[in-house]
Amino acid sequence: MPSSPTSRDVALAAGVSQSTVSYVLSGKRFVSPDTRARVHQAMTELGYRPHASARALKNSESRILGLIVPYHERTDAPGQYRYIVSLAAACRRRGYDLLVISGEEGVEGMRRLTGSALCDGILVMDVLDTDARVAAAHDLRIPSVFIGLSHDAQSVVATDTDFEAIGAGCAQRIHDVGHTRAVVVTPASEHVRPMGFIRRFTDALESRAADLGLALEPLAVARGFSPTHQALRGHLGRAHGADAFITTPATSIDDVINALIVEGLTPGVDVSVIGAGGSGDSSHTGIDYTYYDSDVPKVTATAVDLLVDQLEGALPLKGRDPELITPLFHEGVSLLRAPK
């Protein structure tokens, strides 16, 4: 009776070392997609099946994905929570658990998390336009996915909502209902302004506004209703204030809507308001406002799928274009009627 093929036979057939076959089976080290494909082809041709100890090695993976998400005093906690809950659900669907690492450790946090073997790969949130974690993930070859794009996002695997489409869409819709000027309500937080999605949204908004002849006036507000109300009241008290408002990502459109109502202005009747993001299922205003939704479930599911594909050898650790998710648009009633 012929003996069953061994991992040594697979290595010879695939033209690789026996240790490479072990890495393909265990997933503990990166193996290029081409090499992994050759090993799997050799297994199929030889009829090789991992024996019990190899399966045990494979099963020794933690089945945990780490999430690095900085937390600070002015964090958009409801927004972060929405992503974290959705990521946890996406992980469960792929047979993984989620380990959340908060704080502002940056690169050292990534090294500590991966070096501890607590998780098989990492997800990175709150990506800055210039983010040292991108270079670290690239240089250390850490299986990772960035939820957000830095200026050099092509050097890692990344996904995010198409904030360029949101920026252009906000300008276009404000213009289409007849406005020539708009106030852009932006976050005053020093932690939020450097985010990659803020830069991408702003660049697209300003570019489309320039094409349309739409004048934009930035208005920075601190998080919370009172600071927002104070800033808007100051603007409205001017002789020639704009009657259209665009809220950027990470700015509460609920607070803007409520502040305008307190000042006697009804969105959709007296002024136009459009948001680059909404409040999900936890709106704190009675107005059905007009906004773009980031489609968080699609973004997080894509991020987890991209990471699991890396761990299973179906995707390289770098060198691919970011996966941009098309935003959802909610019509609402907070824009003035378009002129006929």
Q: What is the structure's pLDDT at 71?
A: 67
Which CATH architecture group holds 163-294?
A: 3-Layer(aba) Sandwich (3.40)
Predicted local confidence at residue 203, as pLDDT: 95
Contact 172, 212 (CB under 8 A): yes
Domain boundaries in the chain? Answer: 7-59, 64-161+296-324, 163-294
Write down the pLDDT at residue 293: 95
**Beta-carbon count within 10 A of 139 CB:** 10
pLDDT given for residue 230 in this prediction:
94
Domains 7-59 and 163-294 agree in fold: no
Bridging pattern class, strands 328-330 and 290-293: antiparallel
Low-confidence ranges of the chain (pLDDT < 50): 1, 52-59
- Topology (CATH level 3) of domain 7-59: 434 Repressor (Amino-terminal Domain) (1.10.260)
**Gyration radius (Cα) of the chain, Å:** 25
Q: Rounded to whole angstroms, how far apart are CA atoms 233 and 49? A: 71
Q: Single out the residue of 141, 133, 126 nearest to residue 106, CA to CA.
A: 133
pLDDT at position 281 is: 63
The whole-angstrom separation of Cα 136 and Cα 106 is 9
The predicted pLDDT at position 28 comes to: 60
Q: What six digits make up the tokens of 146?
A: 């960035």
pLDDT tens sequence across 194-227: 788 999 999 999 999 999 999 999 999 988 899 9
182, 214 contact by CB (below 8 A): yes
pLDDT at 54: 44
Could you report the per-residue pLDDT of 44-59, keeping only the tens digit for each? 888 776 653 344 344 4
Q: Domain 64-161+296-324 belongs to what architecture?
A: 3-Layer(aba) Sandwich (3.40)
In the prediction, which pLDDT does 312 show?
A: 79
pLDDT of residue 20: 85
Q: What pLDDT sits at residue 184?
A: 96
pLDDT at 315: 62
For residue 176, give the nearest of 214, 219, 217 by alpha carbon: 214
- pLDDT value of residue 57: 42
Spatial separation of the C-alpha atoms in residues 142 and 115, rounded to whole Å: 10
Kind plus residue range of the DSSP H or E element containing 25: helix 18-26
- In whole angstroms, what is the distance from residue 154 CA to residue 138 CA? 10
